[in-house]
Amino acid sequence: MTTPVLRTRLPLVGTTIFTEMSQLAAEQQAVNLGQGFPDFACDPRLIELVDEAMRAGHNQYPFMTGVPALRAAIAAKIAELYGRNYDANAEITVTSGASQAIQTAILCSVHPGDEVIVIEPAYDCYAPAIALGGGVVVPVAMQIGSDGYTVPWDKVAAAVTPRTRMIIVNSPHNPTGSILRAADLAALAAIVEGTDILILSDEVYEHMVFDGQRHESVSRHPVLAERAFVISSFGKTYHVTGWKVGYIAAPASMMVEFRKVHQYNVFTVNTPMQHGIAAYMADPAPYLGLSAFYQKKRDLFRAGLAGSRFELLPADGTYFQCVRYGAISDLPEAEFAKWLTVEAKVAAIPVSAFYGMPTESGVVRFCFAKKDETLLKALETLSKL
């Protein structure tokens, strides 16, 4: 008997760099500042609320669209922070993490031959989802200057063709830590106004914006919000990445199509966790205080590298810090990241991994969503390189 050979749907996809670097970090007993997840616990109260939901019997299928109390809490939060009033019943859906929301939004709207503009470096789940939908990735590279990474909107505009179906934006931005500002949203609106181009706005780090700046959600901008899928993540916000609970907001007509796909790729999401998160959201302090919480960690990490040979790039949001390492090594990014893990016992992610085609800029990304003692242990070595 011979096992049939599958013709791959994703010929360009292999094991992700995050898996590779985490495995190498474990083998080398290195401090893992690569993959983006905290090494500290969530608020015990959140676990208590999930436990209460389980004991109250909330253990069967919820509504396909999500627990009503959670959808109402999400809509209320967006209205309070960004001034957009989404209908909790028709325009909010709870998802199995942000990645499922991203894939489902793409699959419900991108047809074979449609073009999707992806601003690179880009989170690695965008391109495979576009490929599964038969779409074509049209990459536009961010510019790197003295003020860090910025989007060249003139090049985005030049990339638009009659086949452009969607533009994907991500702010705060993984991996660069940059943010979109009001002028960026205005530039994006000027590109899409009067067209049928959709926006997918990945805002999973929405509550991690530093130095008194505000998160410019696409939900704030009327022209953009009317054509946008806006996505966020409770895993990132509440330090529970393994729970895989997120949400998506979109105009009702777009959400109808989203839910058609959603009901057949996951159907619904963990019931007691939805109830627990809904109850936890009654107090906005945990997400309103998240920027200050992570800014302290960012500042600790940046201070530890200030006298080193790493060149710190601006980190305006997320829990990532990008650095240039040219004064330390001329190795390509992936090789430098491996060298750093083996020799310095600190794991990082090469930013080149966030491009569709090989692109070297001499930059690696560290994650500072770690206990202070973890960061100090890493800094002890990194500061001496």
The torsion angles phi and psi of 379, rounded to 5 degrees, stand at -65, -30
Rounded to an integer, the average pLDDT of 320-330 is 97
Report yes or no on 2 lying in a domain. Answer: no
Contacts of 12 (CB under 8 A, 6+ apart): 127, 131, 356
Q: Characterise 332 by phi-psi region: left (phi > 0), alpha (psi -120 to 50), beta (else).
A: beta
Instruction: State the pTM of this model.
Output: 0.96
Domain boundary among 256, 271, 286: 286
Residue 32 and residue 56 share a domain: no
pLDDT at 13: 83
Residue 191 and residue 70 share a domain: yes
Place of tokens 């790729």: 265
Percent of the chain with pLDDT over 90: 94
Residue 250 and residue 299 share a domain: no
pLDDT at 145: 85
Residue 127 and residue 34 share a domain: no
Report yes or no on 6 lying in a domain. Answer: no
Report yes or no on 1 lying in a domain. Answer: no
Q: Is the pLDDT of residue 15 over 80?
A: no
pLDDT at 147: 84
Report yes or no on 52 lying in a domain. Answer: yes
Q: Is the pLDDT of residue 123 over 80?
A: yes
- Of the listed ranges 14-28, 69-83, 347-361, the least confidently predicted one is 14-28
- Domain span including residue 35: 17-42+288-382
Residue 344 and residue 258 share a domain: no
Residue 280 and residue 144 share a domain: yes
pLDDT at 298: 98
Q: How many CB atoms lie within 10 A of CB 158?
A: 11
Q: What is the DSSP letter of 220?
A: G
pLDDT at 161: 98
Rounded to an integer, the average pLDDT of 85-100 is 98
Report yes or no on 3 lying in a domain. Answer: no
Sheet (strand 311-312) strand order: 311-312, 320-324, 363-367, 349-350
Band (pLDDT 50/70/90 cuts) for residue 299 is: very high
Report yes or no on 28 lying in a domain. Answer: yes
Domain count, the chain: 2
pLDDT at 343: 94
pLDDT at 165: 98
